[in-house]
Structure formats: structure tokens, C-alpha cells
Amino acid sequence: MMNERRLSNQSPLMATSQNPNPNPNPNPNPNRKLIFRNWAELNGDVLMLIFRKVGMIDVLMSVGSVCRAWRKVTEDEPALWRRIDMTSRGGKVALMHMHLANLAIGQVSCKQIELMKINLTKIAIDRSRGRIEQFWIEYFGDDDLLQYLCDRTSVLKSLRLISCGKISDEGIVETAKRQPLLEELEISGVLIHNKLPELVGEALPNLKQLNLFQSWHVFQNSRDEDFYNVMAFGIAKTMHHLRSLRLYCSRMSNKGLKAILEGCHT
């Protein structure tokens, strides 16, 4: 009786909220026509914004297969490829491995998979038609890929090489010489020789941002301050316009730090 009295005292709104209609009508107005949008008719600029959110791997391997309009944007819009990001941000490298595994069905070697990644990157480079401004790769690539890049553009502003163990110091320096507009450089996860910063600085005196992440293995097995101080002295000697510097896994002494603070004064 007590429960019945409580239910009777509830407002109509409360009773309705506690007993929703289990089968609501999905179309309360049957005379109203549902409108379906044709994504193929979207403006090209809008499609490019969407494709940038999707991620480069999907654009290279899937988006162009949806329809002719989307394929036209992916192949004929160089602005879409001003930034080539083949790194693990947003799980893109994992996604690429998944796609390649599905294609290969486990019947190819790691070397062949790396070759597939290089070929995908070359497709992206070609589609940029010389307008690439940012080029970021991770876990693959070699000097030949950097040469392929430099043969097709000279307006690069940002270069990130993350755990690219097959790229040599000579390849990095040669790329720096051929990219006079380069403002940001990151080299990480590999052995970085102590003379490399000075050679890069001589090629890029106007470099503004430098990120050097020494290999953890090298860091653990090298406790020589002089090795890292040579890197610091090279930075101070050649990179006077540097605005941002990140040195990870470095054992440079206060002497090296002082040289950087005095040399990079702008």
C-alpha cells in the first residue's frame, strides 16, 4: 500500500521518465522525407580536411578506392601531401602494419614489408609535386629514400627521422645541404656521432629547432663527457639562430652547456 501511494504521488513527468517507451517510433513524422548526403559531391577543400584527419596510411591504401571523386582528390591535390607523416602518431604505423599483413597474408619477409613502406612513401612524395614541407618517417628508410625526396623537392621545412637505423650521417648531411629552407630537424633512436651536429649546422646555419635523441644503448655504454661536449661545441659553433634545442640521453658537462648558451644567442 505504501508503494502504491508513492507511485500515485509522482508527477506525470517523473512517471514518464521512469517508464520510457521501449519501442519509440524512429520516424515520428512519416510524411517527412529522410535526406541522404552524397559524400562524393563534397567540396575538394572539405574532403582534404577530412582526409588529413583520417591519416595518411588510410589515404594511401583505402580512401582512393572509395569512388572516383575521392581518388581524384588524393591523386590530384598536391596540398594534401605537404606533410608526409609515416610515424607512430595516432597508431598510424600499427595501422600500416595491419594493412600490409592483410595484403601479404603472412607470406612476405620483414624486408619485403619495409620495401612496401618505402614504396608507399614514394607514392606520397610523387603526389606532392615538389611541395612537401614536412617529412616524418619512423622505423624504416635509407639514404636512397632521402635522395628520392631531395630529387623532388627543395622546400622542406621539417624533417624527422625516428629510429631510422639505415640512414647514415652522410645521407643526413647531404639532405641538409639540399634543403636550404629546413627549420626543424629531429634525429632519434639511433647512434648519433658527435661530429654530426656541426656538419648539419654548417649546411643549415638558420636552423631553428633541433631534437637529438641519442640511442639508449649508446648512452648506457658511453660515459665519456668529452664525446657529448663535442656535440655541444658543434651546435654552439654553427647554429647561432637556434630557438629550440632538445638533447636526450646526453652526458655533456657544464662546459658544453655553457658553450651552447653563449653560441646560440638569438
Query: What pLDDT is stored for residue 204 in this prediction?
Result: 95
- pLDDT average, residue stretch 164-181: 96
Angle, in degrees to the nearest 10, between helices 196-203 and 169-178: 10
* Distance between CA atoms of residues 244 and 207, nearest Å: 9
* Distance between CA atoms of residues 221 and 240, nearest Å: 31
Query: What pLDDT is stored for residue 88 in this prediction?
Result: 75
Does the structure show a pLDDT above 90 at 116?
Answer: no
215: exposed, middle or buried (C-beta count within 10 Å: 0-12, 13-18, 19+)? Answer: middle
The residue written with cell numbers 519501442 in the block is: 23
Query: What pLDDT is stored for residue 3 in this prediction?
Result: 47
Query: What pLDDT is stored for residue 13 in this prediction?
Result: 39
Query: Residue 234: pLDDT band by 50, 70, 90 thresholds?
Result: very high
- pLDDT average, residue stretch 248-262: 93
- pLDDT average, residue stretch 70-96: 78
Does the structure show a pLDDT above 50 at 139?
Answer: yes
Q: Which stretch of 67-76, 219-228, 237-246, 257-266 has the lowest confidence by average pLDDT?
A: 219-228
Q: Pick from 141, 197, 137: which is nearest to 173 by CA?
A: 197
Does the structure show a pLDDT above 80 at 163?
Answer: yes
Query: Residue 105: pLDDT band by 50, 70, 90 thresholds?
Result: low
- Across the chain, what does the average pLDDT equal? 82
